[in-house]
Chains A and B, each alone.
Chain A
Amino acid sequence: MEEIGFLGMGIMGKAMAMNLLRHGFKVSVWNRTLSKCDELKEHGASVGESPAAVIKKCKYTIGMLSDPAAALSVVFDKDGILEEICSGKGYIDMSTVDAETSSKISEAVQKKGGSFLEGPVSGSKKPAEDGQLVILAAGEKGLYDEILPAFDVLGKKSFFLGEVGNGAKMKLVVNMIMGSMMNAFSEGLVLADKSGLSPKTLLDVLDLGAIANPMFKMKGPSMIQNNYSPAFPLKHQQKDMRLALALGDENAVSMPVAAAANEVFKKARSTGLGDLDFSAVYEIFKATEPST
């Protein structure tokens, strides 16, 4: 397959690009802080000095940026994608953004003759490393079909969801549920502990029943040991809650539980837990001390 460009060497981008390299893809990478590309370079990737430079070199370029602002910046800023995107080239934005941002990018890319696909993912660091992501694509079907070999390496399952915006919306819906679940889980762990029960036993009980899920199983043990090394930073989870609530606002959809969850994530951010794994929200349920 053709050489693939990759913009954004964060937690996800780095793991995904490495995965492509390991499967024999030629990859050209870029990151705002260039040093983050070093490890990829050691594994055989070439390094571009700007998003435009990467687009110039590659037929297909994937973007994996942390939020709407960063996703827009690699497109619209100086030395951004738009300077080199043209007919015959495709841009696949796998960042998690709101539908409006995605549409904006899609429109701009297509205006220059390029093809666009949004492809946010469900799954964090480990699934990215293991090529076990769930890819929620939408946009140009033709580009989807062409990039599928790369998707098959990056993920365990890909969905094509129709028009641009649908991938973004699906991602936000899933992450909203996930953020609420993490809150409910934390709330339960603390109640168990305060009621004199063993949190570890609660984990065992949960794992046997109808609400058992990989997230509880994976995060539970490290949470009760106060270990929150970031697979999915809390600040990004809160960003997703915020975007999901905004989507609900736009469409007048009632979401009181998500709103309650968002409040707790906000509190967590304000106490400096933003860069830890989103499971660190557990700390807020554990102890809220009155300010003196």
Chain B
Amino acid sequence: MTIVVFSLLKTLPGDPATSLVGERATPETIAKIRNSIGADKSPIEQYWGYLKLLLSGDFGRSYFTNRDVGSDIAAKFPNTIKLAFSAMFIAVPAGLIIGFISARRNSKITSKASDIITLACLSIPVFWSAIIIMLIFSLKLKLLPPSGSGGLSFLILPAFVLSIPASATIARVTKTSVSDILQMPYITTAKAKGLTPYKINTVHIIKNALIPIVTIIGLDFGSYLNGAVVTETIFGWDGIGRFIMEGILKRDYPVIMGCIVVGTAVFMTVNLITDIAYHFLDPRIKLHGKDR
């Protein structure tokens, strides 16, 4: 993974040394800076050097602030996690409730309406809804602060924006999953046995419908990371999404590399946890099964 990102960054036409000191710097200055950040060595040497650093747990230093990228990421990452979890905190219950109701209510109109609304939620670009929601709630109504990092009041708007597409995704999967289960013969049996709707809902439907839902919650974690880049930039939330954006604009390679490495690692870990969670939800699924 690091190879791909690194070789991508190295083929870049822009030169960090030039963007650091400006176009009018003397060739000597540029050469000096290139030497200090190691840009004069061959790409393979550079990559090797970076990998060695990375394996020893060091992400290098930012070309611009000369701060340790690793500790910057460590400082900012909890903010992104906080944002992602707050968004999940809204999206999971909202998605479950919408999906469940639209599947359980035997009405074509409810089902169609929820289909259309969730699709619409998936079609709104996050950066646009972020701007519009910021305009309404913080600039017009002045209810919540427009941007910055801090307490709960700063968290609500970005988390809400992030949760819009996420809850739509969860709602859609819940709906399909629950409607599939409703057609199973054992639901008819449960009804015939005279079980209460509450019992059918909890024991028979929710428990069995959970696997695809958990999968999508886990897999969709990537979309929180993706969305975080945009939402954090707009709301000025001090997480790694904004950090990587700043890095990109300044061609600050250690920052870009560090953020992508960390982001991907987290994403893969979450997927792994999702896979393991299956096992607990449905013991029939083997972790070492052939058919993945």
Q: Say whether A and B bind each other.
A: no
Residues of chain B whose beta carbon lies under 8 Å from any beta carbon of chain A: none
